[in-house]
Structure 1
Amino acid sequence: MKKEYRLRSNRDFQYAFKKGRSLGHPLLVLIYRRNNSTLTRVGFSVTKKFGKAVQRNRIKRQLREIVRLQYHHLKQGYDIIFVVRREAKGASYHTLEKAVNNLLKRGNLYK
C-alpha cells in the first residue's frame, strides 16, 4: 500500500477514534470518518495484548495486503482504522479477508 494511503499520525488516529463511526466484528473493529481530502487513508491498530511484535506485525502485513487489493474499490475521502481483536490471533488470511470485506460493506465504503 502506498505511503500516502496510510494513516500514520497520532493526531489523525485520535481524531478518528473521537469523531468516527465504528462497526464491530468478532475479529476486527472498523472505525471510519470523512476527511477533507480526495484520498482514503487506512491505518491499523494492534494492542500489545495481542502478542509479541512478530505476531502483531504479521497481522498488520496481512491486513495491509487485503486493503491494498481492495483499495481501488473504496470510496475516496475517508480515514479508516482497523482495530484488531485478540480473537484474530489464529485467523487465516482468508478469514481476515472476509472480515474486512464484511466491515467495509456494512460501512458503505465501497464505490
Structure 2
Amino acid sequence: MKYTVSLKENRVFRRLYAKGKSAVAPTMVLYCRKNGRKENRFGITAGTKLGHAVVRNKVRRRLREIYRLHEGEILPGYDIVVVARVRAVHSQYRDLEQHFLRLAKKLQLLRSSGPAGKEKKP
C-alpha cells in the first residue's frame, strides 16, 4: 500500500463509525470520512463472529489485497474502514472485490472513469 497509512487507533475508528458515511454489502460495510491529509488511512475490522484467528486473518488478507490493487483508483485524503461480515468468510475473492468496488463507487471514493463518453448511462 504505497499511498496509504494503516489505521490503528481505537478513537479514530470510533469517530469514523459515528461521523463517517457508510455503505453496506452482504459481505462488508465500508465507512469513509475526509481526513484533511494528502494520503488515505485504511483499517480493517474482523470480529470474532467470523471464526477463529486463522479465518479472520484470511479475510483481512483478502480485503487488504483488494484495497492494495485498487489503491490508485481511490481518491486521496480519506479515512477508510472495512468491516467484514460473516458472509465474507464463505465468499469468493471476486465477489469481495466486486462488493468493495461497488461500495467505493457509491461513496464516491473512486476517481472519474477517464475520457467522457466511455461510460454508458441508461
TM-score, shorter chain, exceeding 0.5: yes
Instruction: Write 1 or 2 for the structure with the bigger share of helix.
Output: 1
User: Structure 2 vs 1, CA of residues 40 and 100 (structure 1 numbering), >3 Å: closer, same or farther?
Assistant: same
Which sections of structure 2, spanning at least 5 residues, go unmatched? 112-122
Instruction: Give, in whole Å, the separation in 1 of the partners of 2:92 and 2:55.
Output: 13
1:64-79 matches, within 5 Å, as 64-79=64-79
CA RMSD across the alignment: 1.3
Instruction: Give, in whole Å, the separation in 2 of the partners of 1:8 and 1:49.
Output: 20
User: Structure 2 vs 1, CA of residues 103 and 55 (structure 1 numbering), >3 Å: closer, same or farther?
Assistant: same
Q: Does 2:36 match 1:36?
A: yes
Alignment correspondent of 1:22 = 22
Instruction: Give, in whole Å, the separation in 1 of the partners of 2:7 and 2:77.
Output: 12
SS at match of 2:70: helix
Q: TM-score, normalised by structure 2?
A: 0.86
| Paired residue type of 1:73 | E
Alignment correspondent of 2:60 = 60
Count of aligned pairs between the two proteins: 111
Point out which structure has higher relative CO (alpha carbons under 8 A, 6+ apart). Answer: 1
1:81-96 matches, within 5 Å, as 81-96=81-96
Which 4+ stretches in 1 moved above 4 angstroms? none
**Radius of gyration: which is bigger?**
2
Which sections of structure 1, spanning at least 5 residues, go unmatched? none
Alignment correspondent of 2:51 = 51
Instruction: Give, in whole Å, the separation in 1 of the partners of 2:103 and 2:3.
Output: 23
